[in-house]
Structure 1
Amino acid sequence: MDHYAFTLVNGVFEDKVRTDPNNRKPPTLIRQPQLGLKSYFDGTSNPCDKNIPQPWDRLRDYVDVLNRESNEGAKYKVIFVLRHGYSLHNYIEKGVKKVNEAGEEVKNDWRKGLKFAYQKEVSLEALRGAGCEIPRVLEDHLREGDPNAAARVSLYDAALLPKEIALQIRGSEVTNNDAEGLGEQWLRWVAEDEFPLPGAIYTSPLRRCLETTKKVYGPVFAANPKKHKFQPIIMENLREKGNGDACNYRSTTKYILDKYPNYMPEPDFTESDEYEYQIQRAENGEPTESDEELEERMRKVLKDIFDDDKTSVVSLTTHSFSIGALTKVLGNARILDEGDITAFLVKAVPL
């Protein structure tokens, strides 16, 4: 049972979205200047202080007032939501679907027939047989520059693709959505627009999120060492929807902390991936974690943050399905492109 009712505070951020022509997924949020923060906002009965010149300073003051003067025990937080950057599995899945161009039915036939999504490794030959184009620059990367190396792709806990490769293979699909670019944007946001640095950063334990968090927030925290310490919290429940795909299993805690020593696992974070045993592929190829179960997991993420985190600004680095479920819990389902970010003002009322 929920301990809070979660809602978005309206009238603070302005959304613009791109809709899916096939209506198979929630609208995609389009990044706006100031992340859509309105210059003046009155999302509740408490108006913002219009004597404060910077919009983000006004928002910080506004949230402090809301938390201090709430008469129903409500808590308020600004939550940045960040989707991981462009990963190897993103390209492979889109590559196959792009060649087929026949929608969901062919996608399901491909998954049931080839089944490489459930394998830790897959050969380039199998990918090409499924219709996935492998550009030379990507093949060289996968072979690590050795033309005689085994032509296999590791999909287990899928990694980010290097920016220069992602830019080449995505072509016209690229906007400004990559982890390094967003890291540079954060430096400008803090220096020029006085964006608040998150008081706490929570990240999925999957490699693509751990690395995205480092690329996005590492530079701006290093440039502002007196404001906050860069110590992301690894949260198991922020991982992607459980469906048995190899890309959605995580590495061991030892591997993670060897590679990301500044990160801090949440309490009871296990050494090995228990999901690898709990989430198995169903015989019909459908995900074993339902939409309702994923939404409940996102409610728990929010509950834990509002229970345990005393800061008024936090950030979550997670995945597309998780973002869709999280925003549905907040009352307005949305998703993000790879490597993009949005912001919400969230109200949590104890039940």
Structure 2
Amino acid sequence: MPVWFAVYLALVWSQIAFSSAPESMACHYKFEIQPDYFVDYFEAARQCPGKKLTTRPNLGLIDKSYNDGKQSQAVSETSLPWERFAAHIRGLNADSPDHVSYKVLFLMRHGLGVHNVFMEKVGGQAWRDYWSHLDGDGNVVFRDAKLVDQGVQQANILAGFWSKAVSELKVPLPETVYSSPLARCLETTRIVFSRLFEQLGQSLHPNIKELLRERLTDHTCDSRSSRTWIENNYPTFIIEPGFTENDELWKRDRSETPDEHVARKHTVLEDIFSNDPHQFIALTIHSYAMSAILRACGSEEFRIAEGSLVALVVRAEKIGASQLGTS
């Protein structure tokens, strides 16, 4: 059974369990990460500290020509690698049939959070067995964990990277920015993109999507703040329809299985590919959320360090109901 079909089966549970998932889907998608555009992230991760991938120079884009005629009218062979790549992606979409589309996803992990630091302090086992179930230790708050100073610094470094990438490397400015509703992602998004968009005369209105949040465990750091808190602290962010005042997904006595998490990420990818016409999209998410997106796209997983960024080319193909059972 192909990976995408296993994900589809799990999707049935996901759409029932999570109130913010679409009640019905007009169509379903098969997602695939396209190879040979970026360096081998899996090998690069193995060479990074803790085997967690850090942001690659030039985002790891492989400098090559695209001998397919799709870029000839837009850029020349002397253009920068990202200019040729962007023209190639636009050409792919222009020439693809209606049921196939391509998007470049810039996946960004939030900066270091309170929970990350405390887990390192007490050890993983002690964190999982005891501390992760508490609202805090009396000094710091674990629930909907915020960024620590180092996490803010990581986000500022990533903001500088984006500024240089857009101005000098000609990396396309994300046409849509999405964020998990957890505080550490919201703040990372604000720090990374607010100044850049302002400098370019653009309005930054990130979209908050419930299903982009981290894998749901019984850890309090995975529960989110209220809608009112988010609206008060991030008034320019766009909250999706159906977003509840209080967190109705997090349960103190239940954790999401890895397959359920992959199904949830598959659902949010279907939402984005169905409703967002843009081709260059940024998502501020979490470590296991990235792993789930990779699996939803039929790929093996790699880990990414806090405050780091990776780019992927994802091909989406609409699959009719009659085709779901075929290999």
**Structure 1 runs not aligned, ≥5 long:** 98-106, 124-151, 168-176, 283-287
Aligned residue type for 2:240? E
Aligned residue type for 1:37? L
- Specify the alignment match of 1:18 in structure 2: 45
Aligned partners of 1:80 and 1:292: how far apart in 2?
A: 23
Select the residue among 49, 56, 75 that pairs with 1:32: 56
- Specify the alignment match of 2:143 in structure 1: 156
Aligned partners of 2:173 and 2:159: how far apart in 1?
A: 12
1:295 is paired with a residue of what secondary structure? Answer: helix
Write out per-residue CA displacement over residues 246-281 of structure 1, whole angstroms, 9 at most, x where no aligned residue.
Answer: 1111111111111111100111111111123xx233
1:178 is paired with a residue of what secondary structure? Answer: helix
Question: Higher relative contact order by CA 8 Å / sep ≥ 6: 1 or 2?
Answer: 2
**1:211 aligns to 2:238 (yes or no):** no
Write out per-residue CA displacement over residues 85-139 of structure 1, whole angstroms, 9 at most, x where no aligned residue.
Answer: 0111100011222xxxxxxxxx446633xx221111223xxxxxxxxxxxxxxxx
**Runs of 4+ more than 4 Å apart:** 44-50
Deviation of the 1:19 alpha carbon: 3.1
Within 5 Å, which residues of 2 pair with 1:1-351?
Answer: 1=8, 3-16=28-41, 17-19=44-46, 28-40=52-64, 42=66, 49=72, 51=77, 53-71=79-97, 73-97=99-123, 107-108=124-125, 111-112=128-129, 115-123=130-138, 152-163=139-150, 178-225=154-201, 228-276=202-250, 279-282=251-254, 288-330=255-297, 331-351=299-319
2:214 is paired with a residue of what secondary structure? Answer: coil
- Specify the alignment match of 1:130 in structure 2: none
**Structure 2 runs not aligned, ≥5 long:** 1-7, 12-27, 320-327
Does the 8 A contact of 1:12 with 1:41 survive in 2?
no
TM-score using structure 2 length:
0.82
Mark the CA change 1:251 to 1:37 in structure 2 (over 3 Å): closer, same or farther: same
Mark the CA change 1:33 to 1:328 in structure 2 (over 3 Å): closer, same or farther: same
Deviation of the 1:229 alpha carbon: 2.4
Deviation of the 1:59 alpha carbon: 1.6
Aligned-pair identity (%): 31
Mark the CA change 1:46 to 1:13 in structure 2 (over 3 Å): closer, same or farther: farther
Does the 8 A contact of 1:15 with 1:30 survive in 2?
no
1:202 is paired with a residue of what secondary structure? Answer: strand
TM-score using structure 1 length:
0.76
Aligned partners of 1:252 and 1:197: how far apart in 2?
A: 30
Aligned partners of 2:181 and 2:281: how far apart in 1?
A: 17
Does the 8 A contact of 1:28 with 1:334 survive in 2?
yes
Does the 8 A contact of 2:65 with 2:84 survive in 1?
no
1:240 is paired with a residue of what secondary structure? Answer: coil
Aligned partners of 2:52 and 2:126: how far apart in 1?
A: 26
2:90 is paired with a residue of what secondary structure? Answer: helix
Does the 8 A contact of 1:328 with 1:334 survive in 2?
no
Deviation of the 1:335 alpha carbon: 2.2
Deviation of the 1:156 alpha carbon: 1.2
Aligned partners of 2:94 and 2:77: how far apart in 1?
A: 19
- What do you get for the CA RMSD once the two structures are aligned? 2.3
Mark the CA change 1:66 to 1:52 in structure 2 (over 3 Å): closer, same or farther: farther
1:77 is paired with a residue of what secondary structure? Answer: strand
Deviation of the 1:73 alpha carbon: 2.3
Aligned partners of 1:20 and 1:255: how far apart in 2?
A: 40
